[in-house]
Structure 1
Amino acid sequence: MSTSATAGRHNVLGSKDRVKTAVAAAFGTSVENYDFIAYGTASALYFGAVFFPESDRFVGTLLSFATLAVGFVMRPLGGAVGGYFADKLGRKPVLVAAMIVMGAATFLIGALPTYEQVGVLAPILLVVLRMIQGLAFGAEWGGAITMAYEHAPWHRRGMFAAIPQSGNPLGIALASGMFAWSDTLNGDWQWRTPFLLSAVLVIVALIVRSRLSESPEFQEARASGKTEKNPFLATLAHDWQGILRVIALRVVESFAYYSTATYLLNYITERHPDLRPVALGSITAASILAIAVTFLSGALTDRIGRRPIYIAACTAAILFAFPMYLLTNSAQPALVVTVFIIGIGVIHASLTGAQGSLLTEQFRTVTRTSGASLGYQIAAAIGGFAPLLAAALVGAFGWPGAALLYLGAAVIGLIGILATKETWSRHERERVLALVADESRTQAPSARPASAILPSSSEDQ
């Protein structure tokens, strides 16, 4: 197996902008997640009554979660479009464009008229803006991760790719905290305020992202004429197995989050309304913990490999599927807090921390964003139906139906990781550490020969 000259010329110690790029990517990812998660929280708490008031409570909840799922359906299209342009024109332009589109759609959701004001036009407008959100969010992830990954030192790519992943729980914490605060407001301001205030975060994120430098690996690929004429078609033709692996690996993470933070929140508040502040506060606390766990999970993959972390997290999800509902059904505040801490702060965070490098390393540089984005967002589209499916299953079979749904997703993830080759083996780690030591001694990055080998299988496929 050979390595491209493009990859070989890339400095093993990473670019000079490696830290700034990773932090900027994380900040943008947190804003995107704030916007997307705000919709999920509002769907669980408010939208059923605000946009579907003529339905009974159960049907209104299902319709609200259906509009939530619409955004996920659009994410593969956003991933395909964003990945195509990121592999064709560069990572940076896609990140900036996705931020603008997402910010505009989220702000407008906060300004929407209600069903009481304009009738059926209200849910129609809601669905349209949700679709736009899905497109923007689908385009976001691949560019952010590949930017951080390709700027990073080879022996720290797991850690650097986990930094923008840490922006996910940060955005979740911001959104949950905002809804916990806005719950004290009156009337429609309870749900409008978090969407309207997102404009401030978007403006700051745009300023930060506009100052990023382009990925060194992409610049070298473009300079040497190694980019694909059509990255999307090239990915489908040559990397379809990688896409399938990413889908299997991502499904468990997506279901783990939305089954917990969105559906379980609704499940608790409908049965025990007095526990809603506790549940919202628990999600916020769990998300803050998840910031650290996500980062540590990614850093640990640099030391022991990507697969062990993922195997452990999938196994934990399997074991947690039924206890999470048994503990919740007790209606004890301390146990409710424990469920969210374990489900979001530990299990979900461990999966996201390992994903940054694991999923990226399934693809070559020239199709990296297209392949990772497409697989990631297809799985997200499936996972977006988790709250809707869980609600329907609970309606038919009671809480064990939702527990079995969570368990099934965890089993798929475990099968996926067991069928995935380690992309950062002990042999690779030792070889790259030797290159890093040599590079550090010489302090001459440009002297690295074109035959140097990347620390992953991404260039070997």
Structure 2
Amino acid sequence: MSTETLRMRGPVHGTKDAKRVAIGSSVGAVIETYDFIGFGTAAALYFGTAFFPGADPVTGTLAAFATLGVGFAARPLGGVLGGHLGDKLGRKPVLVASLIAMGLATFAIGLLPTYSQVGLIAPVLLVLVRIVQGLAFGAEWGGAILMSYEHAPWKSKGKYTGIVQAGFPVGLLLANLVFLFSVHLGGDWAWRVPFLASIVLVMVGLVIRSKVPESPVFEDVKNEGEIVKSPVLDSIKYDWRNILRGIALRVAETAGYAVSITYMISYLHNEGLAGKSETLVALCIASAMGIFATMAWARLTDRIGRRPLYIGSCAFAALFGAPMFLLVNTGVFILIIATIVISYAVCQNSLAGAQGAWFPELFDAARRSSGASLAYQISAMVSGFTPFVTTLLFVSFGWWGPALLFSTYALIGLWAALITKETWGPTERRLADEAVASADSKSAGAPTTTTNTGTTNTIRKEKELL
């Protein structure tokens, strides 16, 4: 890899707005995760009886999880749309539009009538709103992560994208805290309040995102006339291998989460191993720790590379499948908490922390939004229906079915990590050090001008291009 290739990642020192952009992107990730993940919690605890009542609770849970999967199935289409617009119009417009769509859809869920009120119309409306959620969430990630990535310094891409990725455990924490509170309201209010309350977060997020500047990489691509006519088609044509690798990498993280967290909520409840409040407390603890874990894992990739962390984490997760269920099957609350913390803060957050910088680095700047979004969101179709499949496996094979599925997903991620190139290895880190030193020396040798107040400002002659 050459220094010119590294310049495809943006300014050497990043922009003056790098931190503000990362925080702004993270706020959006918090809100959209609150909305999207909140649906998973509600599906596991409430939607089976509210929208799919029946004598058999397992059937109701399966139907609720199928609705959950519909949203994930819509995410690739959202990723295609958001990726295309991100490469054609810019990253920022996609961020704002996706947040508005997600907010309105989530608020609408809190207003939906139940099956007992309108019959079959209720689950139909739930599915339609869930599709809108999926489209919005699919468009969200690519814009948010690329804005942060392309504003960040070369040597701190992991650190800054880690701030965005940490928005997801923050959203998970907020969603579970609200559900922990609302569970005491009883009746339909127990699940309506969390969705209705999201409108406040959306309004705050829109104010913050409206002030975020556009990506410098996109601006340079536009100024150089390098915007491609069909970025999605070009990405599929030229980057299909990395898209497939990215899908496999993501499956280990997102589908693994669907087993160890989304399905586990239902498993603990249905098997009488923990009550709703206890389960939500465990999730709150895990998500709170996950905030710091995600940022720590992401910063670690700046030091050791993206690939080594992924390989180690996937290998650990592959071995953790059976112990994960053996620990929760004890019914001991402290062991349940420990298991969920390990599943989330280690098995999931480490992979998410690495993805923030690794995925954008796999694709050319002109097709980056499309390629990264496709790789990230197509895997959602697998993870979206995983709780449904996991429930069927449990019915057929007991807890061994979900345990082996979790390990299988981890092995898929391990295989993908082994065949995917390292984008921040020793060579890249050395070239980055040299580029930083060169930029600093040129900056130090540049002429200065004195203002009326006697202070001096350095005039940089070198424009840091793509």
Confirm or deny that 1:338 pairs with 2:318.
Answer: no
Tell me if structure 2 keeps the 8 A contact 1:6–1:217.
Answer: no
Residue 23 (1) aligns with residue 45 (2) = no
Which amino acid letter does the alignment assign opposite residue 271 of structure 2? Answer: R
Contact 2:143–2:369, Cα closer than 8 Å, also in 1: yes
1:343-362 matched pairs, under 5 angstroms: 343-362=343-362
Residue of structure 2 in register with 1:285 after alignment: 285
Structure 2 counterpart of 1:132: 132
Secondary structure class of the residue paired with 1:239: helix
Aligned match of 2:420: 420
Contact 2:268 2:274 in 1 (8 A): no
Aligned to 1:244: 244
Is the CA contact (8 Å cut-off) linking 2:11 and 2:151 kept in structure 1? no
8 Å CA contact retained: 1:91, 1:215 = yes
Cα distance in structure 1, aligned partners of 2:107 and 2:9? 43
> What corresponds to 1:458 in structure 2?
none
CA distance in structure 2 between the aligned counterparts of 1:185 and 1:8, rounded to whole angstroms: 52
Moved more, 278-287 or 72-81: 278-287
TM-score (normalised: structure 2): 0.94
> In 2 relative to 1, CA 107–396 (structure 1 residues): closer, same or farther, beyond 3 Å?
same
Aligned partners of 1:6 and 1:221 also within 8 Å: no
Q: Once the 2 structures are TM-superposed, how far is the Cα of residue 30 of structure 1 from its aligned partner?
A: 0.8
**Structure 2: distance between partners of 1:55 and 1:15:** 59
Distance 1:301 1:349 in 2: 13
Distance change in 2, residues 1:42/1:431 (3 Å): same
> How do 1:45-64 residues align onto structure 2 when only pairs under 5 Å count?
45-54=45-54, 56-64=56-64
| Residue equivalent to 2:199 | 199
1:169-211 CA-partner distances (Å, limit 9, x unpaired): 1101111111111111121110001000000000000000000
**CA shift in 2, pair 1:10/1:243, >3 Å:** closer
* Partner residue in 2 for 1:143: 143
Paired letter, 2:123: P
1:267 equivalent in alignment to 2:267: yes
Please give the per-residue CA displacement for 1:64-105, whole angstroms capped at 9, x wherever unaligned: 000000000000000000000000000000000000000000
> Do the aligned residues in 2 keep the contact of 1:80 with 1:370 (CA within 8 Å)?
yes
CA contact (8 A) 1:249 1:413 kept: yes
Taking the aligned partners of 2:8 and 2:72, their CA distance within structure 1 comes to: 37
Partner of 2:254: 254
1:402 aligns with 2:405: no
CA positional deviation for 1:11 = 2.5
Q: Does 2:44 correspond to 1:66?
A: no
**Helix, strand or coil for the counterpart of 1:184?**
coil
CA distance in 1, matches of 2:420, 2:5: 26
Is the Cα contact below 8 Å between 2:78 and 2:139 reproduced in 1?
Answer: yes
Q: Aligned runs of 1:292-331 on 2, under 5 Å?
A: 292-331=292-331
Q: Show the counterpart of 2:122.
A: 122
Distance 2:441 2:49 in 1: 65
TM-score with structure 1 setting the length: 0.95
Q: Distance in 2 between matches of 1:198 and 1:9?
A: 34
> Per-residue CA shift, 1:313-364, capped at 9, x if unaligned?
1011111100110011111101100111100122211111011011111101
For residues 411 and 247 of structure 1, the distance between their equivalents in structure 2, rounded to whole angstroms, comes to 13
User: Percent sequence identity over matched residues?
Assistant: 48
2:106 matched residue in structure 1? 106
**After the TM superposition, which segments of 4 or more aligned residues of structure 1 sit over 6 Å from their partners?**
1-6
Query: What is the deviation of 1:163?
Result: 1.1
1:7, 1:217 within 8 Å by CA — same for their partners in 2? no
CA contact (8 A) 1:161 1:357 kept: yes
* 2:391 match: 391
Letter of the 2:197 partner, please give it.
L
Distance in 2 of aligned mates of 1:210 and 1:336: 41
Contact 2:79–2:138 (Cα < 8 Å) also in 1:
yes
Larger radius of gyration: 2
For the 8 Å contact 1:6–1:220, the answer to whether it is kept is no
Q: Give the distance between the partners of 2:85 and 2:273, measured in 1 at CA.
A: 46
Q: Provide the C-alpha distance between the structure 2 equivalents of 1:5 and 1:427, rounded to a whole number of angstroms.
A: 12
Structure 2 Cα separation of the partners of residues 9 and 171 of structure 1: 28
- Contact residue 11 and residue 446 of structure 1 kept, 8 A: no
Q: Does 1:212 align with 2:216?
A: no
Question: Aligned with 2:177: secondary structure?
Answer: helix
Q: Give the aligned residue type for 1:342.
A: I
Q: 1:317 to 1:274 in 2, by over 3 A?
A: closer
Whether the aligned pair in 2 keeps the contact of 1:360 and 1:368 (CA below 8 Å) is yes
Deviation at residue 5 of structure 1 after TM alignment: 9.5
Taking the aligned partners of 2:275 and 2:9, their CA distance within structure 1 comes to: 56
Q: How many angstroms apart in 1 are the aligned matches of 2:340 and 2:91? A: 34
Q: Gaps (5+ residues) in structure 1? A: 455-461
Kept in 1: contact 2:167–2:291 (CA 8 A): yes
CA contact (8 A) 1:87 1:369 kept: yes
**Change in 2 beyond 3 A, CA 1:218/1:14:** same
Aligned to 1:435: 435
Cα distance between partner residues in 1 of 2:45 and 2:105 = 20
Contact 2:45 2:276 in 1 (8 A): no
User: Hey, what's the Cα distance between the residues in 2 that align with 1:402 and 1:11?
Assistant: 45
* Cα separation, 1, equivalents of 2:44 and 2:117: 21
Deviations 1:365-412 (CA, angstroms, capped at 9, x unpaired): 111110010111011121111111110000011110000110110000
Offset at 1:442? Answer: 3.6
How many Å apart are 1:273 and its aligned residue?
Answer: 6.4
Deviation at 1:15, TM superposition (A): 0.8
> What is the root-mean-square deviation of aligned Cα atoms in Å?
1.7
Does the 8 Å contact 2:321/2:407 carry over to 1?
A: yes
Instruction: Name the CA distance, whole Å, in 2 between partners of 1:165 and 1:90.
Output: 20
What secondary structure, in the 3-state scheme, does the structure 2 residue paired with 1:363 have?
A: coil
Going from structure 1 to structure 2, the CA distance change for 1:446 and 1:146 (only over 3 Å counts) comes to farther
1:105, 1:440 → 2: CA distance? 48
Residue in 2 aligned with 1:177? 177
CA contact (8 A) 1:183 1:190 kept: yes
Rounded Cα–Cα distance in structure 1 between residues aligned with 2:362 and 2:461: 28
